[in-house]
Amino acid sequence: MPSSSSLERLRDTNRRAVTALLAAEGPMSRADLGRRTGLSRTTVSSLVGELLTAGHVVETDRGRPHKGGSGRPPLLVALATPAGVVAGVDLGHRHVRVALADRAGVVQHEQTAAADVDEHGTDALDRAADAVRGLLAAAGIDRDQLQAVGMCVPAPLDRRSSRIRAGILPGWRDVSPADELRRRLDVPVHADNDANLGALAELTHGAARGCGDVVYVKVSSGLGAGIVLGGRLHRGATGIAGEIGHVQVGEDGQVCRCGNRGCLETMVAAPRLLELLQPAYDEPLSVERVLELAADGDAATARVLSDAGRSIGRALADLANSLNPEAIVVGGSLGTAAPLVTGIRAAVDRYAQPDTAAAVRVVSGELGERAEVLGAVSLAIGRVAAG
Amino acid sequence: MPSSSSLERLRDTNRRAVTALLAAEGPMSRADLGRRTGLSRTTVSSLVGELLTAGHVVETDRGRPHKGGSGRPPLLVALATPAGVVAGVDLGHRHVRVALADRAGVVQHEQTAAADVDEHGTDALDRAADAVRGLLAAAGIDRDQLQAVGMCVPAPLDRRSSRIRAGILPGWRDVSPADELRRRLDVPVHADNDANLGALAELTHGAARGCGDVVYVKVSSGLGAGIVLGGRLHRGATGIAGEIGHVQVGEDGQVCRCGNRGCLETMVAAPRLLELLQPAYDEPLSVERVLELAADGDAATARVLSDAGRSIGRALADLANSLNPEAIVVGGSLGTAAPLVTGIRAAVDRYAQPDTAAAVRVVSGELGERAEVLGAVSLAIGRVAAG
DNA sequence: GGTTGTTAGTGCGACTTCCGGACTAATCGG
DNA sequence: CCGATTAGTCCGGAAGTCGCACTAACAACC
């Protein structure tokens, strides 16, 4: 009895090819599977038979009677929605958002709560764990159906230690958020930062669908970028790529939480913009109110957002010159503000090489404040699928 | 008779595994090949047999009698150096350098000639074709032994049209250098720009061996970067990634050949540095002389080079923040100037995030002015190997 | 309604590939 | 000179794939 046969590996490869194709393109007939994989109908039939008895695929009713005109209608075979669910957890600076999704990535339940995430790391993780358990209970899903959790943290993670870099979030020093949450929920937990997961979400579900090289920039209480190259997230040698917020744009600017002075983030992130606008208004401003004002065409708001966009766009122009991306997707709470995006576009056109500027789309993200939690779900699904 | 069987592909895969292992680790016994690939000795024997009759591998004499102590001595099998040669062509702004290498990448013959490449594109290509033919003749190698040519051009190439972007090199408007040289030599010609090929050379033979994420910056008459991510050159959506020289560092600086003002390139590339230094010296300065002065510890030279390094380093710090690379390799004619590299290191430490700065090595390239032509050779070999 | 044409899915025999075990080859130590 | 050890080869069996032939299910057309 051959043990680790290469032939078995071949069979396995072909099985994977079939399931991958079904995952990528949805239900399909055996004949189509054969054509697209290059395998013979016989082989596909045999593979599908195995997958069928193993319960990995199901035969849906014969879709449409035929394709071209005549002929026997195919029996469509579809990927069986795997049992179990995954959770996405988005730890923002001031909120905890949790989503429950089936393994096809369709979000079934979602919930947001306010929390002081920055200050009390372990408290926030307690809340997140409670929220996941609560959502499971509310949905009537047994706890052991939970297969994996993806988590979004508002700070860069070291690739090796998976810890948050000391210093940037005081309440998180030397904490590994993934390990902590894993301890609380007893399932695999995978963590990444907000910009990376926002990029992942826009790449799989949003404005960057189908793109290969994309820069996602998140503009909210901080400023960060998620960089997608060749269709995959670029995390860098130690996992801290994308720190676009700490480009220094003035020698003697405000002191930043990173320790430097004059970081871009101190000049364009939400707190600074509110600070700039507040004196001109009687009412207390919030990010939501600013977005309303911008939508109504308020001149001061437009000016401030546009200026911020230009500053960000200048940094993105340099990055675009280096990376030559297809698209820049603007996310975060301010990502939908038109003057901001217009400002970025203008600065990219002004400062990037003409050919580079011409090649790059600049668009708002399509997923809004749900981007991070959807990215966390995608992360969890990706890791479950990878085994 | 089965035609395009998956089994044949499996066989092929295993064949490749064997040759790849031999390429990576040198001569080896069949038994070792089996252990390292996970295939059985029987299968390896059969594969080696095929490769032997096909001439892709050779049996070297039995290396050392045995390994541990006793036992039959193995027959070492080694990759046969494939027949044929490849050429690398480096078109610089003022020179044409040509190298001939065997298919293992060992350069056998090399030659440099002065030429006004910028002004007369087709003339330079004529010269390059002549040089390749001349080298072949001098080495007594038949013309049809030439399998492919890699070419380095001193300007970005559009990925689709493979043409040089109009404007930056006046004598090259709408010319596809690869097509032109292919016409002259009647072999496949692959072209890329100088920074990309320098990066490729340092990656395969030089200071960046074994690295995954590297930024190679070329400092000579211009300023450009070759970006390696995940061990592969990143060319961007339209193939013009790496344009680090046209980061704008001053609103009202000199007018640049790209049409903007204040590009980094106008402030740190060789012509500007010579211009800055010349007034302080009686002799006419050249890049070579400046390197001598720097090596001798001349204060003014060190200052100018160090300042240039700081300017470049500042731009690289921003890029490093975004990409989090393992290494920055400084190449080009000025890449070996110690004050320049020190200046870059200082600016990276100053302007990049501390963790990013700590993760990145900043080193001179090891290949000097031969980097581009070696990269061109690597490009040619890579394309021949890929079929 | 029957016939023809087209496409889908499934057995069957043949071919390819791989593996394990048996066998031969070559060398070392005693 | 003989066991011990490792390398390489030969052979039979198992796994996997393919082409071909055959049945199944439909449409279109007479």
**Tokens, residue A69:** 């005109």
Yes or no, beta carbons of B355 and A227 under 8 Å apart: no
Q: Which residues pair with B101 in a beta bridge?
A: B86, B107
Residue indicated by tokens 């070792």: B32
Judged by C1' against the alpha carbon of B50, the nearest nucleotide is: C17
Position B327 scores a pLDDT of 97
Position B280 scores a pLDDT of 92
Q: Choose the mutation target among B33, B265, B322 for the interface with A, i.e. most A CBs under 10 Å.
A: B322
Dist CA B278 CA B280 (whole Å): 5
Sign of CA dihedral B339, B327, B315, B317: negative
By the 8 A CB rule, do B211 and B326 touch? Answer: yes
Dist CA B102 CA B105 (whole Å): 6
Rounded to a whole number of angstroms, the distance from the CA of B208 to the nearest CA of chain A is: 13
Packing angle of the helix pair B299-323, B338-351 (nearest 10 deg): 40
A35: which residues sit within 8 A by CB, 6+ positions away?
none
Position B2 scores a pLDDT of 40
Cα angle vertex B112, ends B111, B113, to 5°? 130
Dist CA B362 CA B370 (whole Å): 20
Set of chain A residues whose Cβ sits within 8 Å of the Cβ of B239: 324
Set of chain B residues whose Cβ sits within 8 Å of the Cβ of A225: 322
Residue indicated by tokens 């990528």: A24
Q: Please give the interface size between A and B, counted as residue pairs whose CB atoms are below 8 Å apart.
A: 132
C1’ D26 / CA B207, Å: 66
Yes or no, beta carbons of A359 and B238 under 8 Å apart: yes
Set of chain B residues whose Cβ sits within 8 Å of the Cβ of A14: 6
Q: Which residue is nearest to nucleotide C16 (CA to C1')?
A: B7
Dist CA B203 CA A378 (whole Å): 33
DSSP type of residue A244: G
By the 8 A CB rule, do A316 and A357 touch? Answer: no
**pLDDT of A261-288, one tens digit each?**
889 999 999 999 999 999 999 999 999 9
A185: which residues sit within 8 A by CB, 6+ positions away?
A129, A132, A133, A146, A149
Yes or no, beta carbons of A321 and B247 under 8 Å apart: yes
Residue ranges of chain B with per-residue pLDDT less than 70: 1-5, 62-69, 117-119, 121, 161, 165-171, 387
Rounded to a whole number of angstroms, the distance from the CA of B235 to the nearest CA of chain A is: 7
C1’ D1 / CA B43, Å: 35
Q: Choose the mutation target among A13, A35, A322 for the interface with B, i.e. most B CBs under 10 Å.
A: A322
Position A5 scores a pLDDT of 64
Nucleotides on chain D within 7 angstroms of protein Cβ: 3-21, 24-28
Yes or no, beta carbons of B246 and A325 under 8 Å apart: no
Dist CA B13 CA B20 (whole Å): 10
DSSP type of residue B73: P
Yes or no, beta carbons of B359 and A241 under 8 Å apart: no
Task: Sort strands B107-114 and B146-153 into parallel, antiparallel or unpaired.
Answer: unpaired
**pLDDT of A297-337, one tens digit each?**
999 999 999 999 999 999 999 999 999 999 999 999 999 99
Question: What's the length of chain B?
Answer: 387
Dist CA A211 CA A194 (whole Å): 20
Other CB atoms within 10 A of residue A55 CB:
10
Of B158, B237, B322, the CB nearest to A212: B237
Q: What is the pTM of this model?
A: 0.84
By the 8 A CB rule, do A81 and A90 touch? Answer: no
Rounded to a whole number of angstroms, the distance from the CA of A132 to the nearest CA of chain B is: 33
Find the closest chain B residue to A356 by CA distance.
B240
Find the closest chain B residue to A347 by CA distance.
B248
Give the CB-side neighbour count of residue B51, counting CA atoms within 13 A. Answer: 27
By the 8 A CB rule, do A40 and A46 touch? Answer: no
- What domains are there in chain B, each with its CATH number? 6-79 (1.10.10.10), 85-193 (3.30.420.40), 207-366 (3.30.420.40)
Yes or no, beta carbons of A236 and B324 under 8 Å apart: yes
By the 8 A CB rule, do B110 and B87 touch? Answer: no
Yes or no, beta carbons of A236 and B319 under 8 Å apart: no
- In Å, what is the CA distance from B44 to each residue of A264, A271, B352? 59, 65, 51
Yes or no, beta carbons of B323 and A236 under 8 Å apart: yes
What pLDDT tens digit does each residue of chain A (387 aa) get? 334 568 889 999 999 999 999 988 889 999 999 999 999 999 999 999 999 998 899 988 765 655 556 778 888 999 887 778 999 999 888 889 999 999 888 899 999 988 776 667 678 889 899 999 999 999 999 999 999 999 998 888 877 767 776 556 666 777 788 999 999 999 999 999 999 999 999 999 999 999 999 999 999 988 999 999 999 999 999 988 999 998 888 777 888 877 778 899 999 999 999 999 999 999 999 999 999 999 999 999 999 999 999 999 999 999 999 999 999 999 999 999 999 999 999 999 999 988 899 999 999 999 999 999 999 999 999 888 776
Residue A47 CB closer than 7 angstroms to strand C? no
Position B3 scores a pLDDT of 45
Position A172 scores a pLDDT of 73
